[in-house]
């Protein structure tokens, strides 16, 4: 008997982890369901706002608007690329699904940024916060993404809003990590110089540290966007609409046609978003010492107006 325990200990000794998980989840849902439902409200509000806009507007208007925005924040080449990518999505018949995906994505990324950036900044300032957050991030980044789905279904239910929550949860860690890293890597003498000239901590953060950490932080934003896109197929398992659902249906019904439409749509969105988030990382320097509003459509309009100035004076 004793020998048996020594040789095959796990046949007798076991820890009821699954029971604990069940119990704690039951405890959470029965006591705190209200809180989790309350979290859904602002997410739903934001999603509805974005989705109504994207799906309600005429396709031509959206195409033009998307190209104009990209031209403004990045450059003309990327604007043309965006135009082609969106047109391709429309032509292959994925427009509606893509607009839903875009809405889900935009909402999820906004939430990630809203949580991730301040948390990353805090982690870079306060060492004990980083000591706590770091293992949590490790944990979040190592559990397989499917695992997130179960507690999310139990706490939030299914549909687009829980889908956004699970996507944001999955996509935020790299942003926190890279914001913290970028701020900690700012050259110490540049920070000291800011102190020596009497900058307050906030002024120093805003005009010295954040701009210098910007490339790293933008790499984090880029990661967050890409992870959110990667999550779109997985999130469709909890009934999130959009391109991901096309792929999921394609898999379950062995429908290659649908899977390719959904897959290509995701790739095209990914390309556009990758370029746009990289463009957001451009500094004034990268733009040839021009401010954001001195380039693109707005810049063009401004030169038109100022060129006309001498005529009106005469």
Q: What's 123-154 look like in SS3? A: HHHCHHHHHHHHHHHHHHHHCCHHHHHHHHHH
Residues 177-196 that bind another protein (CB under 8 A): 187, 189-190, 192-196
Confirm or reject binding of residue 313 to another protein (CB under 8 A): no
Shortest distance in whole angstroms from residue 192 CB to another protein: 6
Closer by beta carbon to another protein, 196 or else 311: 196
The region of 55-63, 244-252, 280-288, 296-304 touching another protein under the rule CB under 8 A is 280-288
Q: CA-to-CA distance for 200 and 222, rounded, in angstroms?
A: 30
The region of 20-28, 245-253, 268-276, 283-291 touching another protein under the rule CB under 8 A is 283-291
Shortest distance in whole angstroms from residue 188 CB to another protein: 9
Among 161, 212, 221, 272, binds another protein (CB under 8 A): 212
Q: CA-to-CA distance for 272 and 228, rounded, in angstroms?
A: 14
Closer by beta carbon to another protein, 55 or else 214: 214
Would you tell me how many other CB atoms lie within 10 Å of the CB of residue 46? 19
Q: CA-to-CA distance for 183 and 178, rounded, in angstroms?
A: 8
Reference 178, options 208, 230, 226, 221; nearest CA is: 221
Question: Token digits for 80?
Answer: 């043309």
Contacts 24+ apart (CB under 8 A), 132-139: 133/176, 137/173, 137/176, 137/177
The 214-253 site mask, x for binding another protein (CB under 8 A), equals x---------------------------------------
The CA angle 304-79-110, to the nearest 5 degrees, is: 105
Question: Token digits for 280?
Answer: 């957001």
The alpha-helical segments, DSSP class H, found in 185-295 are 188-196, 201-204, 210-235, 243-252, 256-280
Closer by beta carbon to another protein, 203 or else 308: 203
Q: Is 174 exposed, middle or buried (0-12, 13-18, 19+ CB in 10 A)?
A: buried
DSSP state of 205: I
Confirm or reject binding of residue 200 to another protein (CB under 8 A): yes
Instruction: Dump the DSSP string for 2-40.
Output: HHHHHHSHHHH----HHHHHHHHHHHHHHHHHHHHHHHH
Shortest distance in whole angstroms from residue 289 CB to another protein: 7
Shortest distance in whole angstroms from residue 187 CB to another protein: 8
Confirm or reject binding of residue 208 to another protein (CB under 8 A): yes
Confirm or reject binding of residue 283 to another protein (CB under 8 A): yes
Shortest distance in whole angstroms from residue 200 CB to another protein: 6
Closer by beta carbon to another protein, 23 or else 192: 192
Confirm or reject binding of residue 202 to another protein (CB under 8 A): no
Closer by beta carbon to another protein, 284 or else 308: 284
DSSP state of 287: T
Among 285, 305, 306, 313, binds another protein (CB under 8 A): 285
Closer by beta carbon to another protein, 133 or else 194: 194
Confirm or reject binding of residue 281 to another protein (CB under 8 A): no
What count of residues does the chain have? 314
Shortest distance in whole angstroms from residue 279 CB to another protein: 17
Confirm or reject binding of residue 199 to another protein (CB under 8 A): yes
- Contacts with another protein by CB under 8 A lie at 187, 189-190, 192-200, 203, 207-208, 211-212, 214, 283-285, 289
């Amino acid at each position: 008997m004793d020998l048996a325990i020594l040789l095959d200990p796990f046949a007798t000794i076991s820890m009821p982890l699954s029971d604990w998980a069940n119990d704690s989840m039951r405890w959470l849902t029965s006591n705190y369901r209200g809180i989790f439902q309350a979290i859904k409200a602002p997410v739903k509000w934001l999603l509805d706002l974005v989705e109504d806009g994207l799906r309600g507007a005429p396709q031509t208007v959206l195409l033009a608007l998307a190209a104009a925005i990209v031209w403004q924040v990045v450059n003309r080449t990327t604007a043309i690329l965006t135009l082609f990518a969106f047109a391709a999505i429309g032509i292959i018949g994925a427009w509606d699904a893509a607009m839903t995906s875009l809405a889900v994505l935009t909402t999820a990324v906004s939430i990630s940024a809203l949580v991730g950036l301040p948390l990353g900044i805090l982690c870079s300032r306060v060492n004990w916060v980083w000591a706590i957050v770091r293992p949590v991030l490790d944990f979040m980044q190592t559990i397989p993404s499917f695992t997130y789905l179960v507690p999310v279904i139990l706490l939030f239910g299914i549909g687009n809003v829980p889908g956004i929550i699970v996507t944001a949860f999955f996509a935020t860690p790299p942003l926190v990590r890279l914001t913290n890293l970028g701020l900690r890597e700012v050259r110490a003498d540049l920070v000291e110089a800011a102190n020596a000239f009497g900058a307050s901590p906030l002024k120093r953060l805003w005009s010295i540290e954040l701009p210098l950490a910007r490339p790293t932080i933008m790499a984090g934003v880029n990661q967050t966007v890409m992870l959110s896109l990667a999550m779109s197929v997985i999130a469709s398992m909890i009934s999130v609409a959009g391109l991901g659902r096309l792929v999921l249906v394609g898999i379950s019904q062995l429908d290659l046609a649908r899977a390719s439409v959904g897959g290509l749509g995701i790739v095209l969105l990914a390309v556009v978003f990758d370029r746009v988030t990289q463009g957001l990382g451009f500094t004034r320097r990268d733009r040839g010492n021009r401010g954001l509003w001195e380039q693109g459509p707005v810049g063009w309009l401004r030169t038109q107006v100022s060129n006309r100035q001498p005529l009106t004076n005469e």
